[in-house]
Chain A
Amino acid sequence: MEKVLLKGNEIIGEAAIRSGCKLFFGYPITPSTEVIEYLSANLPSQGGTVLQAEDEIGAINMCYGAACTGNRVLTASSSPGISLKQEGISYAAAVELPMVLVNVNRCGPGLGGLGPAQSDYFQSTKGGGHGDYRLIVLAPSKAQELYDYTMEAFDLADRYRNPVMVHTDGFLGQTMEPVVLKDRPEAPEVDQSWVVNGCKGREKRILASYSLTNEVGEENNLHWEKKYKEIEEKEQRWESFHTEDAEYLLVSFGTTGRICKSTVLNARKKGIKLGLIRPITLWPFPVKGIRPLVDQLKGIVTVELNTGQMIEDVKLAAECKVPIHLYRRQGGMLPTEDEILAYLEDIFQPDGSGEVHE
C-alpha cells in the first residue's frame, strides 16, 4: 500500500476521493482551506466536481441538493464557517441526507484565532443548528486517523442516512505526517430507494422537512430519535490506553488525546497508574468506554481546548461517582504532557496516601 507524506487537510481530501466522493462544495477559510485546494486539484480528474460557493451557506445547501441525488458529497470549513452552515446541516439531518462535514476547528468565539481548539465540541455534538438532531462526530488524533475516519465517515453517513462530521483542528490539519493510503473498505450496501433523480418508472418523491401537522411532526421526531438511539447503541468508539489497572484516568480527544498518551507514559514511569480514554466518536459519546472503569478509578481529568465542554459528557458517563476535573488550554494554546501530569498530581496527590484530595 502506498505511503505518502501529506498535510492533514490534504489527507482528508485524498481519503474523500478514495471513498468515492463525487462532489465537494466549500468556501475557503483558514485553517481548513487545503481541503478545497487539494480537491480542486485532484477531484475533477477522477470525474468529480468541486465548486467554490458564494459562501458557506451556499456550500452546505449545494451539499444538501447533491446528497438528495444519492451521490457522495463533502464540505469542509472552520468554526465561523461551520456556524454559517448550521441551518443547512439541520435541514440535512431532518431530510436524513448522508454527507460528510469537516470542521477544522479554530479557537473562538467570534472570528477567533487559528490555533488548535476544541471549542466547537458542544456545537458538533449537541446538534449545533436548530431543532433536535444529532450528527455522528468522529475525532481523529493523527494523520492516519484523518484518512481512516474520513473514509469511515462516508460509510456511516450512508448506513444511517445522517450527516457525519469529522472534528479536527488546525494542528492536525496543517501538520505533515506519513499516512498509508489504504484501499477503500468494503462499502456497505445502502438503500437508495429514497433518492431524487427524476421519477421515470416510479412515483414522484419529495425530500423535504416540512410538516404543519403536529401528529406527523411527532412521528418524525420519534423516527429520528429511534435512529439516534440505534447509533448510540452501536457506534460508540474509543481508544483505551493503559486503562486495565488505571486508578486515574485522562479523557481527551483529538490533538490533546494524542498529547495525553505521553502524559500516561510519563506517569507510569513515576509509578502513577494513569490511563487514557480517547473518544473516537464524540457523538455518540463513548459511555461504554468510561462506565466500566468507574469503580476502579480514584479520579478523572478531562483535557480539553475549551472552557470545559466534554467534561459534562464524562460526568454523565461516570454518573459523577468519581471526582472529575478539567485541565484546559484555550485561545489556540496546547498543553504539554508535563503540565497535564503536574495538574493531575496537584489535584489528586496520587503519590500520597492514595486518598483523594478534593
Chain B
Amino acid sequence: MPKAIVLEKYCKSCSLCVEICPMKIMAISEKTNEKGYFVATCVDQEKCTGCTLCATVCPDVAIEVYK
C-alpha cells in the first residue's frame, strides 16, 4: 500500500505538502522536532496514492514515498 513518510528531523512546517496533496491527507501535527517545528504528517495513510507530489514540492527533502 502506498505511503508518504515524513522524515521529521528535516521538516520545517512550511505546509507546501499540505497544500499540494490531492487527497488532502497531509497535515501539520502538534508534534515538534528537535528544531521546534511542528512536523507535517500523513493523517490517513490508507488514502495515499503514492503520487509523490508532496515529496516533489517539499523544499527540505523531508518526505519519502513508498508504492
Do A and B contact each other directly (Cβ–Cβ < 8 Å)?
A: no
